[in-house]
A and B are shown apart, each in its own frame.
Chain A
Amino acid sequence: MIDTINAAARKVPAWVLYILLILPIPYLFYSAATGGMGVEPINALEREIGELSLKLIIFGLLITPLRKYLKLNLLKFRRAIGVMAFVYVAVHLGIWVVLDMSLRFDQMWSDIWKRPYITIGMVAFVAMIPLAVTSNNLSVRKLGGAAWRKLHKLVYPIAVLGAVHFIMVQKVWEVEPMVYLAVVVALIGTRYVPNIKARLSTSV
């Protein structure tokens, strides 16, 4: 089963994923513009795109544990997932700036500093920029593998900030965003669990 998936994955070029992941964006805009997202389409679209970006970040975090525990190798798709997660976050931000806030820059500027959930969302977006910019082979070579990997561990705090941002947008404590945070924390946790195991077994 795993071998079949691995073999199939080897045949699919990574660019296919870019195409597949970009398609929901025009579809959702079309749906919002034609009444498919209810009578308040701006907020619905903003939330939908935001939630999808968090899902993509979670998929990106899934690649390593899938390989480690299930021997499922989807590593070649991780860059596409990460870059597209950034694209979704950028579109989410764009919707906020242009459609939601109607380019009221004064209000946005004070909101970024005064509203913790917007501050958190903004920090997460800014932290994603260096990751998006260095998502190419040239940057990996220039930085060197170790430094590049270290830089890209920034995705851990970014994922946590994204999930916290989602929780804070709600008026009450809702289950769904909490599940996202739990999944993010668990996936980051898998990076550290084996280390503890290894340390324990060597100390015995």
Chain B
Amino acid sequence: MAHRWTNTYTASDVTPKGVWLNRRAVLAGMTGLAAAGGLAGQAAAQQAPLEPNTLEEITSYNNFYEFGTGKDDPAKNSGDMVTDPWEVTIDGMVDNPGTFSLQDLISDMTMEERIYRFRCVEAWSMVVPWNGFELADLLEKAGVQSGATHVAFETAVMPEVMPGVRNRVIDFPYVEGLRLDEAMHPLTLMATGIYGEPLANQNGAPIRLVVPWKYGFKSIKSIVRITLTDEQPKATWNDINAREYGFYSNVNPEVDHPRWSQASERMIGGGLFASRQDTLMFNGYPEVASLYEGMDLSVDF
């Protein structure tokens, strides 16, 4: 199974482990490929090549309110979260409910690397080379019962190692949800790693959701429960402020957050003089548009 979605990158675009800490080496590698012609040139013709962010960038600028509201809080405060052993409960409208160890859960999944754009609702973005498997495969294994319409997700709550939970800055556990067809879309990934390494705690170890056409807060981290339901589940930010954060929260340059424009974004890693770039509809993944046919996306934002 899996490999149902392919991006315009090939295995040769994946940065070798020895150089991914060094941006210049990444650039040099890409230039070399382009000079060699062939695949890289073809990819570039379809889409401007994406340069993945460095692991340092991806692991030092995060939102993970369980560990604090500052961008550097997750990296600073998440070190004590133990992610092995880890269990995930799958329940609700499935044929095979249960609580599974992470190993059992992912043992027969097809792992792949997906280089995705990641767009935060705060108007910044990154490019992340995820390792993971399609959520659809996991749902198939769980046996989704007819009548189920949505998937709900829940993050671990560990007050003793999560200062943000102790401060109750928002309601915990953090929860999110997708419509079943969104969850089954081949783009929707369950990630367990970045750059071929296990996820860092601040990135949502040991297993998280990645929905690249939605704002980052939909991609819930450190998942302990997946529930199939027949109603739209509660989603944390939507619950905090429905006017500012819709249930769908698809990346959409034309629907502004009430307090800031979503028309443009800044790529992390460009330094002090990085300029803004235009935000793309569905974060540049137009293949999901058919999921929302007939919907007014300025109403169901």
Q: Which residues of A contact B (CB under 8 A)?
A: 29, 32-33, 38-43, 45, 99-102, 104, 107, 110-111, 114-117, 168, 170-172, 174
Q: Does B263 contact A (CB under 8 A)?
A: yes
Residues of chain A lying within 8 A (CB to CB) of residue B122: 171
| In contact, B272 and A32 (Cβ under 8 angstroms) | yes
- The reply to whether A39 and B60 form a contact with Cβ atoms under 8 Å apart is yes
Q: By the criterion CB–CB under 8 Å, are A102 and B268 in contact?
A: no
Contact of B61 with A102 in the complex, beta carbons under 8 Å: no
| Interface of B: prevailing SS | loop
* B89 in the interface (beta carbon within 8 A): no
Which residues of B in the span 151-205 have a Cβ within 8 Å of any Cβ on A? 169-170
Contact check: which of B60, B69, B261, B276 meets A172 at CB < 8 Å?
Answer: B69
A104 touches B276 (CB 8 A): yes
Q: How far is the CA of A109 from the CA of B173 in the complex (A)?
A: 39
Q: Are B271 and A33 in contact (CB under 8 A)?
A: yes
Q: Does B57 sit within 8 A of A, measured CB to CB?
A: yes
Complex Cα gap A101–B260 (Å): 11
* A24: min CB distance to chain B, Å: 16
Task: For the complex formed, measure the closest distance between the CB of A181 and the CB atoms of chain B, giving whole angstroms.
Answer: 18
User: Which of B69, B72, B266 is close to A42, meaning CB atoms less than 8 Å apart?
Assistant: B266
Residue-wise, chain B 256-279 has the 8 Å CB interface mask toward A (1 for contact) of 101111011010110111111000
Q: Are A115 and B69 in contact (CB under 8 A)?
A: no
CB-CB under 8 A for A39 and B259, given A99-B272, A104-B276, A172-B169: no
Contacts of A99 in B (CB 8 A): 272-273
With CB as the reference atom, state the residue of chain B lying closest to A33.
B272
Asked if B124 CB lies within 8 Å of chain A CBs, one says: yes
B71 contacts chain A at the CB level, 8 A cutoff = yes
> In the assembled complex, how far is the CB of residue A122 from the closest CB belonging to chain B, in whole angstroms?
14
Are A104 and B264 in contact, with the CB atoms below 8 A? yes
Q: Which residue of A lies closest to B122 (CB)?
A: A171
Minimum CB distance partner of A117 in chain B: B259
By a CB distance below 8 angstroms, the chain B residues around A43 are: 124
Chain A, residue nearest B258 (CB): A115
Known: A39-B60, A171-B69. A114 touches B256 (CB 8 A): yes
* Bound CA span A102–B271, Å: 13
Let me know if A41 and B61 touch, CB within 8 A: no
Q: Are A40 and B71 in contact (CB under 8 A)?
A: yes
Contact of B60 among A38, A168, A174 (CB under 8 A): A38
Interface pairs (26), CB distance under 8 Å? A32-B272, A33-B271, A38-B61, A39-B57, A40-B71, A40-B124, A40-B266, A40-B268, A41-B272, A42-B266, A99-B272, A99-B273, A100-B266, A102-B275, A102-B276, A104-B264, A107-B261, A111-B261, A114-B256, A115-B258, A115-B259, A115-B260, A116-B259, A172-B65, A172-B170, A174-B69
CB distance from A91 to the nearest CB of B (A): 14
Q: Which of A38, A168, A172 contacts B259 (CB 8 A)?
A: A168
Contact (Cβ within 8 A) B269 A101: no
- CB B284 to nearest CB in A, in angstroms, measures 19
User: Using Cβ atoms and an 8 Å threshold, which residues of chain A touch B271?
Assistant: 33, 41
State A114–B260 Cα separation when bound (angstroms). Answer: 8
Residue from A32, A39, A170 in contact with B269 in the complex, judged by beta carbons closer than 8 Å: A39
Complex Cα spacing A183 to B277, Å: 39
